[in-house]
Amino acid sequence: MPTESDETMPLRTSDDVVRVRQAVRARAVSAGFSLVDQTKLVTAASEVGRNTVDYGGGGTLRIEVVSNGRRRGVRLTFTDQGPGIADLTLAMKDGYTSGSGLGLGLGGAKRLSNEFDIRSAPGQGTIVTLARWT
């Protein structure tokens, strides 16, 4: 799968989450996403990005524009070295929160993505990968 662009940006503060939203928007536009698809991807990025900052103690976001020959897509990889998540099934459940959100963060982000993958273990940090296609 050819990668058309690849960049990594820091995710430490809530201002970084705003910057992430803008960067993801720009990439989604360049990949030819419709307005609704852009909005879904940016919203998913905002949800997971906030998780990375608030619960993962900060980390990075890698944004890739990819193509599978027929469709183009944007893949986001959020990485942190935080405390990790012990129960992934519970963390993905709507209404579950360990902080101040509505608890829709991860489950909601999954619903807004075409592909969603989360890897984590206590003490091992968390990696969330999600993608949306045109």
Partner 1 sequence: MGEIPILRIGDCLLVSIQVDMHDRLALALQDDLTERIVADRARGVMIDISALEIVDSFIGRMLNNIAAMSRVLDAITVVVGMRPAVAITLVELGLGLTGVRTALNVDKGLALIRNIIDNPERDDANRIR
Q: Are 41 and 110 in contact (CB under 8 A)?
A: no
Residue 35 found at the interface with partner 1 (CB under 8 A): yes
Residue 42 found at the interface with partner 1 (CB under 8 A): yes
DSSP-assigned letters across all residues of 46-99: HHHHHHHHHTS--EEEEEEEEE-SS-EEEEEEEEE-SS--S-HHHHHSTT--SS
Tell me the longest C-alpha to C-alpha distance in the chain. Answer: 41
Q: Smallest distance from the beta carbon of 122 to partner 1, in angstroms?
A: 25
Residue 58 found at the interface with partner 1 (CB under 8 A): no
Residue 108 found at the interface with partner 1 (CB under 8 A): yes
Select from 105, 118, 126, 128 the one that contacts partner 1 (CB under 8 A): 105
CB-wise, 39 or 67, nearer to partner 1?
A: 39
What secondary structure letter does DSSP report for 123?
Answer: T
Q: Are 73 and 133 in contact (CB under 8 A)?
A: yes
CA 114 vs. chain centroid, Å, equals 12
Residue 94 found at the interface with partner 1 (CB under 8 A): yes
CB-wise, 53 or 85, nearer to partner 1?
A: 53
Which positions lie near partner 1, rule CB under 8 A?
14-15, 17-18, 21-22, 25, 35-36, 38-40, 42-43, 46-47, 50, 94, 100-105, 107-108, 111-112
